[in-house]
Amino acid sequence: MRRAIFPGSFDPLTLGHYDIIQRGITLFDELIIAIGINAQKKYMFSLEERQQFILEAFKDEPRIKVLTYQGLTVDFCKEIDASFILRGLRNPADFEFEKAIAHTNRKLSEIETVFLLTSSGKSYISSSIVRDVIRNGGDYSGLVPDTVKYTGNL
């Protein structure tokens, strides 16, 4: 079975993530959306909200699962028997950053990283931009799937 993980914080899930997930599932038998937990990071959305956004967005795709993890991504891959890490690339800076991580992961394990370019109309979207739009009271609906709803206080 070709099992891959798509790791990230997904704070929140964006249309860029959604694009990579939809296209990535065509390459693998199972795609695990792996929400990384970093105690040092302050999230806008709770872990439960982030999980729910993803579960709802892909409720009709049984080959997509949502799990959480802490620590090294390659260790999590070994734990769940995933042979691939799926990553999205928006721009050359993403490539340089992700290339270094992929080389390190390959040095640490036998995990292969698969890169997909984000579709052209979504390459400008990032979770940090979405959070900034939300913090400033902007309309974020064109940047995220319909399942993402901000219910906190601004």
Is 68 annotated as ligand-binding? Answer: no
Is 99 annotated as ligand-binding? Answer: no
Distance of CA 108 to the CA centre of its chain: 21
Is 65 annotated as ligand-binding? Answer: no
Is 87 annotated as ligand-binding? Answer: yes
Question: Is 17 assigned a catalytic role?
Answer: yes
Is 41 annotated as ligand-binding? Answer: yes
Question: Is 90 assigned a catalytic role?
Answer: yes
Q: Residue 36: which of 67, 61, 75 has the closest Cα?
A: 67
Q: Which of 78, 90, 106, 149 is catalytic?
A: 90
Is 135 annotated as ligand-binding? Answer: no
Is 10 annotated as ligand-binding? Answer: yes
Is 83 annotated as ligand-binding? Answer: no
Give the chain's largest Cα–Cα span. 45
Q: Residue 113: which of 66, 68, 74 has the closest Cα?
A: 74
Q: Which of 41, 42, 107, 120 is catalytic?
A: 41
Is 69 annotated as ligand-binding? Answer: no
Cα(29)–Cα(42) distance, rounded to whole angstroms? Answer: 33
* Residue position matching structure tokens 């990283």: 113
Question: Is 83 assigned a catalytic role?
Answer: no
Omega before 12 within 30 of 0, i.e. cis: yes
Question: Is 127 assigned a catalytic role?
Answer: yes
SS3 label, residue 93: helix
42 DSSP assignment: P
Extract the annotated binding site for ATP.
9-10, 17, 88-90, 98, 122-128
Extract the annotated binding site.
9-10, 17, 41, 73, 87-90, 98, 122-128
Active site positions, annotated: 17, 41, 90, 127
Extract the annotated binding site for substrate.
9, 41, 73, 87
